Amino acid sequence: MNCRIPNLLTLSRILLLPPIIFLLDLGTATAWWWAFGLFLAASITDALDGWAARHMNCTGNIGIFLDPLADKILANVLLVYLACHHTDWIPLWAVLLLLAREFTVQGYRSMAPCLGVIISTGRMNKWKLVFQLISVGTTLVGLAWRPSAFILQPSTWIFLGLALYTGIWSMIVLFRDNRDLWQREAVKMERR
């Protein structure tokens, strides 16, 4: 039973996304504050689920799969939403570059096990996620509290730029460090 707690914390990031989007769609300052609160709770679960899994000695395949998936869904869906509705805060071109990077890296990582290699998530990827989440958070607070926009809007752009930088840099490092994958023979896979 205790081993379900880390996975439920991870899953909560995905489950909190529809209410956050609903609140953002309401378009009022109060709704945006509530959306920010739910977003903050979802972001905190990213640290809590890993801590709980280690503390309860519950690391497993479901958590290893679900944690990065929940991170990507939370950050990227909110960035896409904000880029479509508040382009003055989140430029769509930056979000599309981040998404292209995500698909490229995930495709490369998905190919690796077929070649007998597991590519783990690097520290730069964690920083990319942190910068993405900060960008979302500063945007939500800036929309809810308009007088803060003069400082939070440039902050959003800086953190989004840092997310792009760390994302692209980590992709280059990933390809460089695993360039031998293209010469490997595929491992025999079980067909189901």
pLDDT in tens, 82-105: 999 999 999 999 999 999 999 999
**192 in any annotated domain:** no
Domain of 104, in residue numbers: 4-183
Q: Is residue 51 within 8 Å of 44, Cβ to Cβ?
A: no
Residue 190: other Cβ atoms inside 10 A: 4
Q: Can you give the pLDDT at residue 133?
A: 98
Q: Can you give the pLDDT at residue 64?
A: 78
**32 in any annotated domain:** yes
Average confidence (pLDDT) over 19-45: 97
- Long-range contact set of residues 12-19: C-beta below 8 Å, sequence gap at least 24: 12/41, 12/42, 12/45, 13/42, 13/45, 13/46, 13/70, 13/71, 13/73, 13/74, 14/69, 14/70, 14/73, 14/74, 16/41, 16/42, 16/74, 17/42, 17/73, 17/74, 17/77, 17/78
Q: Can you give the pLDDT at residue 134?
A: 98
pLDDT beyond 80 at 10: yes
192: confidence class by pLDDT, cuts 50, 70, 90: confident
**105 in any annotated domain:** yes
**189 in any annotated domain:** no
**130 in any annotated domain:** yes
Domain count, the chain: 1
**31 in any annotated domain:** yes
CATH number at residue 27: 1.20.120.1760
**190 in any annotated domain:** no
Q: Can you give the pLDDT at residue 28?
A: 96
**At 93, which helix (H) or strand (E)?**
helix 92-111
